[in-house]
């Protein structure tokens, strides 16, 4: 019998802070608008990605999805995923914050 090799990982959920509903809506709108401009200027991100963003109403999930499509190093993407403050994670995933 052949032995299969597999990776083992330790996983822990990162507790995230919540935002007020009005602040959350404003951040979602601003972040999506900025990412739409980025997609329009970038040749690396397909426009179809914007369709997948339209159904996301959770700020953390939006930040994670946008970060996955940004043209940044993998360690930078991981750094963004580990930010527990939702507002800070959205700001870090903003494509117009100096990157």
- Rounded CA gap, 46 and 85, in Å? 28
What is the per-residue pLDDT across 45-89, written as a single tens digit (0 to 9) for each?
888 888 888 888 888 889 899 988 888 899 999 999 888 888 888
Q: Which long-range contacts (CB under 8 A, 24 or more apart) does 26-30 make?
A: 27/59, 27/86, 27/87, 27/90, 28/56, 28/57, 28/59, 28/62, 28/90
Percent of the chain surpassing pLDDT 90: 3
pLDDT recorded at residue 29: 87
pLDDT at 98 exceeding the cut of 60: no
């Amino acid at each position: 019998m052949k032995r299969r090799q597999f990776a083992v990982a330790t996983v822990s959920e990162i507790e995230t802070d919540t935002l007020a509903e009005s602040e959350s809506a404003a951040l979602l709108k601003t972040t999506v608008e900025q990412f739409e401009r980025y997609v329009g200027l970038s040749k690396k991100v397909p426009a179809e990605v914007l369709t997948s963003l339209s159904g996301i109403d959770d700020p953390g999930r939006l930040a994670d999805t946008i970060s996955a499509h940004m043209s940044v190093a993998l360690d930078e993407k991981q750094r963004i995923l580990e930010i527990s403050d939702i507002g800070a994670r959205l700001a870090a995933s903003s494509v117009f914050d100096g990157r």
